[in-house]
Structure formats: C-alpha cells, structure tokens
C-alpha cells in the first residue's frame, strides 16, 4: 500500500472528492485513516482480528456518510474516532466478564516470571478495557483521547463540543469512575492498595 | 510482581499507569488484507462521477407524479368547476344564494315541519 501522496489536502476535502466519485480520494483516505482506526481498535479490544472488523466497519460508515458530510461541522478524524470507540464499546460490553480473580487461576507448573508478568499485564488491560466500556460515552472518549492519543484539552473540547474548562472535570470524573470500578481488583492486577 | 502506589491520594497515579500501559499496546502493522477490504468497500460505494443526484423534496415528487405543473393546473381548474356545478345544484332544492346557505328561510317557507307536526296533533 503506497504512502499518503497528498499530505497537504485536508481529510474533509478528500471526503468531498470521494462523494463526487473520485476513487483516488478513497485511496488516500484509506491510507491515512485505516491505520489509525485499526490501532485504536487494537488498543481498545486487545484482539487484532476483532480490531480489523471494527476498522473495516468504521471505514464503511465513512464511505456511506460521504455524500451527506457537512464540511466544517466536525473533523473527519474525530468522527472516525468516535465511531471506532463506540463499535469497540459495543463489542466489549458483549464479552463475558472475567468472573474468576487472577490469583485463583491455577498456574502452569513451569511458570516463569516473564509468563506471569505477561498474564498479569494482559489481565490489567482486560480489566481497564471492561471498565472503560462501562463509562458514559463522553467520559470514555475524554479519557481515551487524553491517555491514548496525548490529546490536549482544547483538542478534546473540540471533539466533544464542550468548553475547555469542562474537559478537566470530565476526565477527572472518568478516572474516578475507573478507579472505583477497578478498586476491588487492584491486588490481583499487580498493584498494592495503599 | 506487585507495583506499589506512591502513598495516599495516589488513585490517579495507578489509574494513569494502567492507562499508559494500555496505550503502549503495540498495534503492529496494518494487515494488507484489511487495506484491500477497505478499498474494495470504498470502490463498491463510490458515488457516480459528479456525485449523487440530490433527491427532490416530497411536494416536487408529488407534482411530478401527477404529470407536472400543467397537469396540476388542469386538475385544479376541473376541481373548481366541479365545485361550482355542485353549488349550482343547490338551487333546485330552493337554496337561492348558495354561499349564504339560507336553510332557515327555506324551511320556514314550507311550514311542513313546524314542531314536527305536533302542533297539528294537539289542535
């Protein structure tokens, strides 16, 4: 797959060109946006096969909405971010929750520290994914944009259509809710309750 | 293997560390098969050159379905004529000024229905 050959052109302009039947614009958008959508889905789901399905579905929705896209109302990347986040959340909510605490799982006989660390790390990620999926949408997006994408308050504010001041409180509430959801599993997840 | 939080009020820090760990999840290369599928979807849904023809509003579709504005004009003229003819028919039952619908004078003139005939029975 070739690199982005037209980095100067805005995503919204490319989408407008796609809506006018320009196949080249579709190619550029695919190169630009699919890796982002896929990486976000992998982080949220921890499963590459599922992440592929989500990225493809999100891009399909982008092609579908192209003729009705209203330039200037939202950034294409922000719109796609929300779509991927919501598709991942739907999948996470359908997943069966881990009902047995990690420390109760029988360990293999030749358990090495690296294997144990890997298991614990994966358990932590699963727990955070499940807790994130339970957050209200705006809190989830704010926390994810801040921590996964290093987005600034103004960027998050623009994505969510809220004031910059509200972002701080939204993120703090999201993290408090995460802490409350994960509190009972702190020790099992490799942390000591202080 | 446990990681100790840094003391009281450290909720944010262990949550931050968990989130940072998740952010570091390596996504790896995007599979070529995925890119091909996305492009195939884009091609399948590619609008025709010049874009999709905007759909006309419902009232315009209605007018078109009747045969255009000329047909709608003829239909309106025919409806108005039919209405006038219908009103003219009222004169045959004694309503001389249709738009005032003087039923009261008509019934008073006949005298046939005064008190539904009870006055005749009572003498």
- Residue-wise pLDDT for A138-150, tens only, equals 999 999 999 888 8
| pTM for the full predicted model | 0.66
Nearest-CB residue to B51 (from A60, A67, A120): A67
Q: How many CA atoms lie within 13 A of A164 on its CB side?
A: 5
Inform me whether the C-beta atom of residue B38 falls under 8 Å from chain A C-beta atoms: yes
Contact A162, A83 (CB under 8 A): no
**B35: three-class secondary structure by DSSP:** helix
B35 touches chain A (CB under 8 A): yes
A25: nearest CA partner in chain B: B42
Which token pair is A145?
Answer: 């944009």
* Phi, psi of A90, deg, nearest 5: -55, -45
Residue A18 and residue A27: Cα distance in Å, rounded?
9
Query: In this complex, which of B20, B32, B45 lies closest to A147 when CB atoms are compared?
Result: B20
Query: What ipTM does this complex have?
Result: 0.79
Distance (Å) from the C-alpha of residue B11 to the closest C-alpha of chain A?
7
**Which tens digit of pLDDT belongs to each residue from B78-95?**
998 888 887 777 666 766
Q: State pLDDT tens for residues B30-80.
A: 999 999 999 999 999 999 887 765 566 677 778 877 888 888 888 999 998
Residues 6+ apart with CB under 8 A from B93: B106
Domain extent listing, chain B: 58-122
pLDDT of B10 higher than 60: no
Task: Summarize the confidence of residues A43-50 as an average pLDDT.
Answer: 91
Q: Give, to the nearest 10 degrees, the angle between helix A164-182 and helix A137-148.
A: 90
Cβ within 8 Å, pair B32-A1: yes
Note whether B42 contacts A: Cβ–Cβ < 8 A. Answer: yes
Strand partners, A191: B3
Chain B: residue whose CA lies nearest to A31: B35
């Amino acid at each position: 797959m070739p690199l982005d050959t037209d980095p100067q052109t805005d995503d919204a302009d490319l989408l407008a060109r796609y809506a006018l039947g320009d196949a080249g614009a579709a190619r550029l958008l695919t190169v630009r946006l699919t890796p982002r959508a896929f990486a976000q889905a992998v982080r949220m789901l921890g499963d590459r096969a599922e992440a592929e399905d989500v990225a493809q579905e999100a891009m399909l929705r982008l092609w579908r909405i192209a003729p009705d896209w209203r330039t200037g109302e939202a950034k294409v990347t922000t719109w796609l971010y929300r779509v991927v986040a919501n598709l991942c959340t739907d999948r996470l909510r359908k997943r069966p929750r881990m009902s047995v605490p990690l420390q109760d799982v029988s360990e293999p006989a030749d358990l090495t520290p690296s294997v144990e660390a890997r298991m614990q790390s994966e358990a932590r990620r699963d727990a955070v994914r499940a807790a994130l999926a339970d957050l209200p949408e705006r809190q989830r997006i704010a926390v994810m944009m801040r921590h996964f994408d290093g987005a600034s308050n103004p960027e998050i504010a623009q994505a969510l259509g809220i004031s910059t001041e509200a972002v701080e409180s939204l993120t703090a509430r999201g993290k408090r809710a995460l802490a409350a959801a994960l509190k009972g599993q702190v020790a099992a997840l490799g942390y000591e309750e202080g | 293997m446990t990681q100790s939080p840094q003391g009281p009020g450290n909720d944010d820090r262990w949550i931050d560390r968990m989130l940072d760990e998740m952010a570091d999840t390596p996504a790896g290369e995007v599979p070529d098969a995925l890119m091909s599928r996305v492009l195939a979807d884009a091609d399948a849904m590619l609008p025709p050159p010049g874009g999709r023809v905007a759909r006309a509003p419902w009232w315009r579709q209605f007018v078109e379905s009747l045969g255009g504005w000329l047909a709608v004009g003829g239909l309106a003229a025919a409806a108005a004529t039919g209405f006038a003819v219908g009103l003219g028919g009222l004169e045959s039952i004694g309503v001389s000024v249709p738009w005032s619908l003087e039923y009261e004078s008509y019934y008073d003139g006949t005298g046939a229905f005064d008190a539904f005939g009870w006055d005749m029975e009572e003498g």
